[in-house]
Structure 1
Amino acid sequence: MVKVIGIDLAGLESNPSGFSLLTDHELHNQIIYRDSEILKTCAASQPSVVAIDAPLSLPGRGSLREADLALIRRGFRVFPPNFGGMRSLTVRGMKLAGKIRRSGIEVIEVHPRTSGLILFGSDDRKKWVAGLRRAGFELQGGAGRHEIDAALAAVTGLLRLQGKTEEIGTEKEGKIIIPRARCSLSPLRCWRGWRRPRPGSAPPFSA
């Protein structure tokens, strides 16, 4: 069974982070705090990809990465990785992503608000939830803003596996993964025969 984890990461371990495990068509949402909890759950779940809502790299110079600038040019709102409290979030995200990647799991940076605007035309989380349910997803567990952001992060990770996303940014500074415009949402139960493509091969699904 293919699994995807979405994390709405907090800047400090003392603050709540949203965590969502997507299996088949179910999104299991909860609040989680410590990095050790996140790493333990990732190790136990062995997801195909972990999608983190946090900057996972720093700009080469200035306050914004090319990925941030590209999203701003498209009309999306993002915060500089070095801005105020974002700095602690970025540092935590980079360290956590490194540890997960060393275990052989793919980690991507996502931005749920941008995903919500692309998929549902809104930054209203209630509309995200309604849209996910219409698409056949079942949301279980917590339904606060952190959990919903984590759920949309997980869905963005699913779209990544289905070849329905764009990579925004550069290899050097890091990339943000966003849904392609007008892509369709499909739960994992529609892709039971999915297998991870070999490096360099074409994605098995298109928008």
Structure 2
Amino acid sequence: MVIYAGIDLAGSPRNPTGVALIKHNGEARIVFIGVLYSDGEIIDLLGAFKPNIVALDAPLTPGHGYREVDLLLLNNGYRVLPPGWRGMRLLYERAARLTRILFNIGIGVVETHPRSALKSSRCRSIYELAEKMNLPARTGLTRDEEDALIASIVAMEYARGEAVSFKAPDGEIFLLKPLCG
């Protein structure tokens, strides 16, 4: 059994962080999707499920403006924000803390950008993407939950060697291959 996690991290624990977990045991199914707030809640959930990989929607490397990897995505038609902006700096700092903790308990983390991953998949919606992956998702998900689900699919595809990598000296961001028409 393999577990993949996706996290749409908020810069502040006062705001909701979307988390999704996919269990793959012959076939994939969503075992958790929801919002959490504190770092402790996130670590407790991931510690209980022990995902093989977490795809995190947050910058994993710092920058004062746009990083080279961000510019690479922008040049390919994806809209990302630079980690040097004030709110993004807070997000980076929280992501760096969580990544260190996860690494120490044996969980790997990769960076993703869910809306860019959805666009690169060529699916019209998260629901079409989930259906294409044989992961029927309940309707009415919040934006945070949708982004976490996309990130968990990126984690699964990353582990299978099927994710698309945008790599520069200052970071690497994983998206999805075209999956829909």
1:64, CA displacement in angstroms? Answer: 1.4
Deviations, residues 130-157 of structure 1 (Å, cap 9, x unaligned): 3312431132597111001000000000
Say if 1:10 and 1:17, in contact at 8 Å, map to a contact too.
yes
Tell me which residue corresponds to 2:37. Answer: 33
2:128 paired residue number: 130
Structure-2 residue corresponding to 1:58:
62
Instruction: Provide the TM-score with structure 2 as the length reference.
Output: 0.90
Identify the residue that residue 18 of structure 2 maps to in structure 1.
Answer: 18
Deviation at 1:163, TM superposition (A): 0.9
In angstroms, what is the RMSD of aligned CA positions?
1.8
| SS of aligned partner of 1:138 | coil
| Aligned counterpart for 2:51 among listed residues 38, 47, 57 | 47
2:83 aligned with 1:84: no
Corresponding residue SS for 1:15: coil
- Matches of residues 91-110 of structure 1 in structure 2 within 5 Å? 91-110=93-112
User: Which amino acid is 2:151 matched to?
Assistant: A
Secondary structure, aligned partner of 1:88:
helix
Gaps of 5+ in 2: none
Paired residue for 2:72? Answer: 70
In the TM superposition, residue 166 of structure 1 has moved relative to its aligned partner by: 2.5
* C-alpha contact (below 8 Å) 2:7/2:19 kept by paired residues: yes
Q: Is the 8 A contact 1:18 1:147 kept in 2?
A: yes
Moved more, 127-136 or 67-76: 127-136
Unaligned runs of 5+ in 1: 185-207
- Paired residues of 1:119 and 1:183 also in contact (CA < 8 A): yes
Secondary structure, in 3 states, of the residue corresponding to 2:14? Answer: coil
The alpha-carbon distance between structure 1 residues 141 and 22, as it changes in their structure 2 partners (threshold 3 A), is farther
Q: Deviation of residue 121 (structure 1)?
A: 4.6
- CA deviations on 1:42-84 (whole Å, 9 max, x unpaired) are 111111101110111113xx41111101001101110000113
Structure 1 residues 107-186: aligned runs within 5 Å: 107-122=109-124, 127-139=125-137, 143-170=141-168, 172-180=169-177, 182-183=178-179
What is the rounded CA distance, in whole Å, between the counterparts of 1:57 and 1:142 in structure 2?
A: 33
Paired residues, number: 176
Computing the radius of gyration from Cα coordinates, the structure with the larger value is 1
